[in-house]
């Protein structure tokens, strides 16, 4: 078993156990890597991509990483990697041929997650992909999978709601502006999941996130925020002066 987040890309998972009797609020940060599928498949079931890797980290109620999961998934709808995807992810088709199918990897991932967790991903694309792909492949949605989909957070949207504009930041943009370092290569399932968790931690730190907001304003040429005055908080227009 790989130690401290360095799970082998062949499919090892790492979880450190918590003390017995303690209630642990688990947060799962997940990232899927995907490869394109042939046009005839897209036309038949509306599926443009196929999952080839699942990466995730688990945080406890103190936002400490307590485990990680990474596993390749064998493609069932395509027989080659798209060159752009191969270059971006550094995943090669021969690495996937001996991997288990999505149904098996999902089952192991859900066991790893356990009960009572909240799931976060950067955008809702990953949850939509799981729904579409399991339907296309005839994989039944177990009670555990339905529960996971029901507690899914689009963290790109939640994070964006804290920013001074409506533009959606990509994960790499947010990491760069935050001054964080990718844990290894970007577009790697485990590394991207860990970077999303890092942004979650940063958003919970008022000083760190305050600096991030200032960096966002500089990066996109926005005006500085005006200080809040009493007039911004209360409406004095209905008050009339009275003679003493």
| pLDDT, block means (10 residues), the chain with 244 residues | 38 41 75 95 90 98 96 95 95 96 98 95 97 95 94 96 86 91 78 96 94 89 54 46 44
pLDDT score recorded for residue 209:
93
pLDDT score recorded for residue 184:
66
Q: Are 113 and 28 in contact (CB under 8 A)?
A: yes
pLDDT score recorded for residue 3:
35
Residue 177 is inside which H or E element, if any?
A: helix 171-178
**CA gap 60, 26 in Å, rounded:** 5
Q: Using a cut of 0.85, tell me whether the model's pTM lies above it.
A: no
- Coil, strand or helix: which one is 17? coil
CA nearest neighbour of 16 among 70, 68, 83, 72: 68
Q: Are 73 and 133 in contact (CB under 8 A)?
A: no
pLDDT score recorded for residue 229:
40
pLDDT score recorded for residue 158:
95
User: Which residues in 118-146 are b (16+ Cβ under 10 Å) and which e?
Assistant: ebbbbeeebbebbeebbebbebeeeebbe
pLDDT score recorded for residue 218:
87
- Coil, strand or helix: which one is 147? helix
Strand partners, 32: 54
């Amino acid at each position: 078993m790989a130690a401290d987040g360095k799970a082998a890309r062949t499919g090892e998972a790492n979880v450190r156990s918590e003390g017995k009797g303690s209630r642990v609020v688990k947060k799962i940060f997940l990232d899927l890597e995907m490869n394109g599928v042939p046009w005839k498949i897209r036309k038949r079931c509306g599926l443009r991509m196929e999952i080839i890797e699942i990466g995730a980290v688990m945080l406890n109620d103190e936002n400490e990483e307590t485990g990680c999961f990474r596993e390749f998934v064998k493609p069932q709808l395509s027989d080659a990697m798209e060159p752009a995807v191969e270059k971006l992810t550094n995943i090669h088709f021969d690495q996937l041929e001996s991997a288990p199918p999505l149904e098996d990897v999902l089952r192991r991932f859900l066991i790893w997650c356990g009960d009572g967790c909240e799931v976060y991903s950067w955008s809702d694309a990953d949850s939509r992909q799981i729904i579409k792909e399991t339907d296309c492949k005839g994989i039944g949605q177990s009670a555990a999978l339905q529960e996971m989909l029901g507690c899914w957070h689009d963290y790109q949207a939640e994070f964006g709601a804290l920013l001074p504009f409506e533009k959606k930041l990509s994960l790499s943009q947010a990491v760069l502006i935050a001054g964080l370092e990718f844990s290894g290569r970007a577009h790697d399932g485990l590394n991207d999941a860990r970077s999303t968790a890092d942004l979650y931690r940063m958003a919970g730190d008022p000083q760190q996130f305050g600096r991030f907001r200032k960096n966002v304003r500089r990066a996109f040429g926005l005006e500085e925020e005006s200080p809040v005055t009493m007039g911004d908080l209360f409406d004095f227009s209905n008050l009339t002066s009275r003679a003493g």
